[in-house]
Amino acid sequence: MEVDVAGLVKHLESYAQSAIGIPLLRTYWYDGAPQRVATAEHHAIAALPDVKLRLGTINSAGQQKGVDALLYRDLITLAREKSISDAVLVAGDADLCEGVRAAQELGVRVVVVGLTGRGSQKQSLELVQEADRSHLLADSDIRRFFTKRAFVPIAEPRRRREEPPTELPDTAVAAAPKRTDVAAVQSAARAHVKKWLAAASPDDVAALLAVDPRIPTPLDSALLRASEAAIGRSLRQDQALRHAARMVFWTEVREHGQKLAQAP
């Protein structure tokens, strides 16, 4: 899915202000990322005004870890410092009940906002009951902020009819990729990683270099999608071109890291 994050955040902020009736302090966006390395989408979220991005990790099974703890910490810190009187929590996980109770004990009113889908409620009943108030956003409330990515299948190359060889070779030789494809992939990879580096903080670059030569899955997937778009076909079966894209990626990241290290 493609998400209009700016539009979605603005919509939720408008709801929060209308529901509570007081000025909004800020919006916190919680997500997970492998090795806590932010993706291009995460950088776009962090750049929004009055929005704080909080990143936990994602384990090998694709599960978020540490995200609830980040939310709990922010909620309790803001409540203890009397920075907020009300909190609007867009969530549905029962694991957040303890954080809601702790904030309430410090005098904060908590409104829990959930989503409906196909007529069912996507929230823990325990969380709803623990909150001071609850509200459900209908699917139609947020549908306009989500767009399904178009899937363009890669056509199989048409095979030519050829006479069978009179002699079978003893070994199979893999065909080298075309020079034009290599150049296109390298150019696309270089443009993609430069765009990421332009938005990345020094801490983001340091976290990425710490896992060198492994590219975190979200970054690697985005890199390969950009490379595939440059040549108009899948790289799933083309190890040489995937390697070329990743080599360019690390060359740019390492050079950028060295410049940051040498900066005064």
Q: Which helix (H) or strand (E) holds 44?
A: helix 40-46
- Of 2-6, 141-145, 174-178, the range with the lowest mean pLDDT is 174-178
Band the pLDDT of 39: cuts 50, 70, 90.
confident
Q: Is the peptide bond before 34 cis (omega within 30 degrees of 0)?
A: no
CATH number given to 2-147: 3.40.50
Domain ranges of the chain: 2-147, 179-262
What's this model's pTM, rounded to 2 decimal places? 0.60
- Distance between CA 127 and CA 168 in Å, rounded? 68
Average pLDDT over residues 158-176: 47
pLDDT digits (tens, 9 = 90+) for 90-125: 998 888 999 999 999 999 999 999 887 654 556 888
- What are the backbone dihedrals phi and psi of residue 174, each rounded to the nearest 5 degrees, phi first? -75, 135
More confident residue, 150 or 170: 150
Q: 77 exposed, middle or buried (CB, 10 Å; 0-12, 13-18, 19+)?
A: exposed
> For 199-244, what is each residue's pLDDT tens digit?
888 888 888 888 777 888 888 888 888 888 888 888 877 788 888 8
